[in-house]
Amino acid sequence: MSLKLRANLFFALLLLLSMLGSAAILMTNAKRSVEAEVISTMDATAHIITVTLAGGTLTRDTSVSEHMHELVRALSEIRSLHILLFDQQGLLFEGTPEKELSIQPPAWFVKLLFPDVSPLSKRFGSGHMVIYPAPMQEISERWQDIRAIMALGMIIFIVVALFIYWGVGWVIRPLQRLLDALAGFERGDLHMRLPRFSLKEMDQISQSFNRVGDALEQSTTENRRLAMLVKQSGDAILSLDHAGYITFCNAAAERLFADVPNLLGESLSAMPFHEDRNSIIAVLNGFQSVENLETTLKRSNGELLSLLISTVPLTENDGCVAGMICTLRDITEHKQAEKARAQLYETRLLTKHMDQVQEAERRHLARELHDELGQCLTAIKTDAVLIRNRSEKTDTKIYQSAQAIIDTASHIYDVVHNMITRLRPSPLDDLGLMATLEESISKWQQRQPEIHFNLITEGELNGFDEATNMTVFRVVQEALTNAVRHAEPDNILITVTREQTAIDEQLKINIRDDGKGMVVHDFHSDVDFGLLGMRERAQSLGGSFDLQSQLGAGVNLTITIPLGVNVHHES
């Protein structure tokens, strides 16, 4: 039952009780009035009859009896009495009250107001009279008066009830607004606020409610944000009670402890921690705060997971420990990545060392070919020239054989020279990087006249150490080889720039062609050893490798090498 209905029923009951009380008082007073009037009327009527018969005798004489009969009848009708006169012979006269009433009162009302008065009996001379009360007229009049008063009271009751209904509604209207706002809070609508009210107390309640709503909305928003963070966190987050049992876990925790069907209610210290288990149990049982304690978790399939455990105790306002929040981060992949990075670093060191050994072997082989085979070929060619000159006029066969030896020696010398150049370009040691690149581009242009090669250099390109020189040369050679062999270009632009950045000095090599292009995939999946070799050469010197290409758009290759300690300063 609502407060408004209760208040209206309460006031309606009060009004009804007041009306019933007023009705009871009216009927009580009416009964007393009727009773007093009946007694008074009976006494007065008896007195009138007694005075009338004073000095005479009650006789049945016609003239006297008619006069007395009229008097008795008149008194009965006027006074609403039942009058009986008796002589020695019996009933002489009888007067009855008027039976027709303007309004007939109900029987219960007549019974309630009918006076409890004994008949009046009085003797005089040779006769006596008996007067009975018959106050129906008075009761009818009282009924009309009380009914009119009650009708007026009912009208007043309705008017007052309507006024009270409106007043109660007006008074509790702020409470209804408050109930609507609370219902909105229950539905989750925390944006609802109460307006200012004219009543001081309700206005204070409104302001307090709005402050509570603001705080609750802010707290709910923060809780939702935290719940979303906990739900989407990649770390396993567990909440433990004061006994160390799990009361909450997120999805990451369920995935981490997949061997446990239901984590809730389990003890975290009973989990199969493999490394430093005693320390973890001591931390959990002692509600200690730790950060990034490393351990391992052994699964049922024998797999070991590397974990970092962080704990923080939950305390009540009085300082008592109520539980603990435990965070577990799976660093297995991180460990594997660290191991892979270490292996990659070692592999690159080995690759760099192999490149250095290979370059040293190439340099040594080139020198041996140049010094030993070159001298032998020169001697053979010199002897063959001498034989040819001496046998030119004496022996034609010897002359032709000597000329064949000279041609063969010259061909072998050219082949050996090309081999030496591919093994170790001699200008790189004698003339520097710029001259070597210019000579190399010139030879490419001679071999591929249908392709236009363009070399652009900026900055001082000499004075680098051997590793930098060889890296730049090999990268340019490999890039040009790939372009000529696969791209079918019309133009190839080679740009080598030495530039100063905000951090350090670097060497930038860009080779661009207008060939048919390619779809760039991962080098490992493509198993393109040429590109892999260029990238490894650049990264071995701390540089970067970038390849941009599309079908029909050519290839744009950029390699950046930081100079720094790699620059060899020469006087």
Contacts of residues 190-193 at CB distance under 8 Å and 24 or more positions apart, as own/partner, are: 190/216, 190/217, 190/220, 191/217
Same domain for 470 and 542, yes or no, is: yes
Residues 422-456 have pLDDT tens digits of 666 656 666 677 888 888 888 888 888 898 999 88
Are residues 548 and 485 part of one domain?
A: yes
Helix, strand or coil, per DSSP, at residue 549: strand
Task: Confirm whether 91 is domain-assigned.
Answer: yes
155 shares a domain with 36: yes
Strand partners, 143: none
Closest listed residue to residue 85, CA positions, set 50, 56, 135, 38: 50
pLDDT at 525: 44
pLDDT band of 361, cuts 50, 70, 90:
confident
Task: Say which residue, 81 or 309, is predicted with more confidence.
Answer: 309
pLDDT in tens, 189-231: 777 788 887 778 878 888 888 888 888 888 888 878 887 888 7
Sheet holding 120-124, edge to edge: 90-95, 81-87, 127-133, 120-124
Determine which helix (DSSP H) or strand (DSSP E) holds 39, and give its type and residue range.
helix 3-52
Domain assignment present for 372 = no
**566 pLDDT higher than 50:** no
Q: How far apart are CA 153 and CA 132, in angstroms?
A: 35
Q: Report the amino acid identity of residue 396.
A: T
**213 and 128, same structural domain?**
no
Give me the pLDDT at residue 64, please.
56
CA atoms within 13 A on the CB side of 486: 15
523 assigned to some structural domain: yes
Type of residue at 514: D
* For residues 350-372, average pLDDT: 71
Q: Which residues have C-beta within 8 Å of that of residue 56, sequence separation ≥ 6?
A: 64, 125
**Domain membership flag for residue 345:** no
Q: Is residue 319 part of a domain?
A: yes
Instruction: Please check whether residues 198 and 238 belong to one and the same domain.
Output: no
Rounded to an integer, the average pLDDT of 518-526 is 58
Establish if 485 belongs to a structural domain: yes
Tell me the chain's radius of gyration from C-alpha atoms.
Answer: 64
Phi, psi of 525 (to 5 degrees): -75, -35
CA distance 85 to 72: 9
Instruction: Determine the pLDDT at residue 11.
Output: 81
Per-residue model confidence as pLDDT tens digits over 58-84: 666 655 567 777 777 777 776 677 788
Pairing mode, if any, of strands 290-298 and 491-500? unpaired
Regarding predicted confidence, which is higher, 290 or 92? 290
One domain, residues 314 and 249: yes
Among residues 331, 357, 374, which one ends one of the domains?
331
- 141 shares its domain with 12: yes
SS3 59: coil
**φ, ψ at 545 (rounded to 5°):** -130, 125
Residue 458 has pLDDT above 80, yes or no: yes
Query: In this structure, are 20 and 52 located in the same domain?
Result: yes
Q: What pLDDT, on a 0 to 100 scale, did the predictor assign at position 570? A: 35
- In 119-247, which ranges are continuous DSSP H helix? 136-187, 200-232
Distance, CA of 164 to CA of 156 (rounded, Å)? 12
Residue with the larger pLDDT of the pair 452 and 3: 452
With a CB cutoff of 8 Å and minimum separation 6, the contacts of 440 are 425, 473, 476, 477
pLDDT over 50 at 399, yes or no: yes
Q: Return the CATH number at 552.
A: 3.30.565.10
Residue range of the domain that includes 516 = 432-570
Q: Give the model's pLDDT for residue 568.
A: 39
User: Which DSSP letter does residue 484 get?
Assistant: I
User: Among 204, 224, 244, where does a domain finish?
Assistant: 224
pLDDT bucket at 521, cuts 50 / 70 / 90? low
User: In this structure, are 8 and 153 located in the same domain?
Assistant: yes
pTM for the full predicted model? 0.42
What is the CA angle 536-540-543, rounded to 5? 90
Rounded CA separation 286/288 (Å): 5
Average pLDDT over residues 347-357: 72
The 10s digit of each residue's pLDDT in 249-298 is 888 888 888 888 888 888 888 888 877 788 888 888 888 888 888 888 88
**CATH number of the domain bearing residue 284:** 3.30.450.20
Sign of CA dihedral 205, 207, 209, 211: negative
In this structure, are residues 235 and 245 in contact, taking their beta carbons and an 8 Å threshold? no
Joined together, the tokens standing for residue 43 give 């006494």
* Residue 281 covered by a domain: yes
What's the rounded Cα separation, in Å, for the pair 150 and 15?
12
> How far apart, in whole angstroms, are the C-alpha atoms of residue 377 and residue 269?
83
State whether 144 and 9 are in the same domain: yes
Does residue 83 sit within a domain?
yes
Same domain, 147 and 245: no
Cα(281)–Cα(50) distance, integer angstroms: 122
Rounded-to-integer distance, Cα 351 and Cα 339, Å? 18
Say how many Å lie between the first and final Cα of the chain, rounded.
Answer: 105
Report CA torsion sign: 142, 144, 149, 150: positive
Count of structural domains within the chain: 4
Q: Are residues 299 and 216 in the same domain?
A: no
Average per-residue pLDDT for the chain: 80
Residues 391, 366 contacting (CB under 8 angstroms): no
Q: For residue 110, which of 31, 201, 4 has the smallest C-alpha distance?
A: 31
Instruction: Tell me if 534 sits within 8 A of 480, measured CB to CB.
Output: no
The CA distance from 424 to 361, in Å, is 10
Q: Which of 159, 183, 207 is the last residue of a domain?
A: 159
